[in-house]
Amino acid sequence: MFYRQKILLSLIEAFGGRLSNKDLQKYLFLFAEICQKEKSYEFIPYKYGCFSFQSYADRRNLTISKHLIDTEKSWQLNRLGHLNSIDKSDAEKLKQFAEKYKNLSGDDLVKEVYLKYPYYAINSEIAPYLLKDNPEKLEEIRRLKPANDEYCFFTIGYEGKSFEDYLNRLIKNNVQLLCDVRKNPLSRKYGFSKKTLSETLAKLNIRYIHMPELGIVSDKRRELKTQADYNKLFSEYEKTTLKENDVAIKNLFDIFMQNKRVAITCFEAEECMCHRGRVAKAIEKLPEWEYEIKHI
């Protein structure tokens, strides 16, 4: 079991062994923000405020392993004793946190999060209702919502990042469409296989397309150790794959012109270690190109 999952179970235990869906997300968020230097979970702004997709993936696994009871509306422990499975300092922090927030739940808890962390309310469906008596805070939330609609082309990798960190980078840059340039869009890391990624992006009103013709077969990546190895691979990639798929580059440009803020994605954190950097250079060489490229 991952340590973050032990923290999750211990937090539920600290609040009596059962929490509603909404309360669990808000408590988990506040605990991470207030009590943890290295956060067990990260969050994005969603329909009711801060939300962790990773926590729900963990919920499914913890239900299968019988640590949680299967219920749609709440998180309920199958047994107690989880506080004894984590570091004593973390257990004490959880107990103190639960004591501080035990009388704050439901809409009052959500409102507390919105007031202290307004970024996480930018996509909220209930913020106008909960903050109807606080127009200043509603205006602050409105200002925090990304609204830049100028043409910009982005590249983004997910190496070393959580799913929520990755999604927040797309949200904060107001990306409208994500183009996956992996040959095979599969990943052992939660969130980054095609099905989960595309379905999650749809929930955030970000379109997803896959252009496998711009990918590199995995066999060619196995012996890469130095930047020189990567440069050799990418030089071959430019002479073969990109040259043979110039129509795909032109299609990508058309997609960019239609959507204005488009990101291409692959695995590596740095674009110099990833073929998406060469895709960006290829599109930049088009005679009609006059736009900014950002690596996020």
Contact 296, 274 (CB under 8 A): no
What is the sign, positive or negative, of the torsion defined by CA atoms of 237, 243, 244, 247? positive
Nearest to 199 by CA among 57, 42, 39, 40: 57
pLDDT tens for the chain, 296 residues: list them: 999 999 999 999 999 999 999 999 999 999 999 999 999 999 999 999 999 999 999 999 999 999 999 888 999 999 999 999 999 999 999 999 999 999 999 999 999 999 999 999 999 999 999 999 999 999 999 999 999 999 999 999 999 999 999 999 999 999 999 999 999 999 999 999 999 999 999 999 999 999 999 999 877 666 777 888 888 899 999 999 999 999 999 999 999 999 999 999 999 999 999 999 999 999 999 999 999 999 99
What is the pLDDT, as a whole number, of residue 9? 98
CA distances from residue 115 to 4, 107, 110, 130 in whole angstroms, order as listed: 26, 12, 9, 10
Domain 152-295, what fold?
A: Protein-Tyrosine Phosphatase; Chain A (3.90.190)
What is the pLDDT, as a whole number, of residue 247? 96
Task: Give span(s): CATH 3.90.190, the chain.
Answer: 152-295
CA distances from residue 281 to 129, 201, 207, 257 in whole angstroms, order as listed: 47, 26, 23, 17
Task: Provide the CA 77 distance to its chain's centre, in angstroms.
Answer: 27
Nearest to 133 by CA among 117, 115, 116, 121: 115
**Enclosing H/E stretch for 18:** strand 18-20
What is the pLDDT, as a whole number, of residue 202? 98
What is the pLDDT, as a whole number, of residue 222? 67
What is the pLDDT, as a whole number, of residue 15? 97
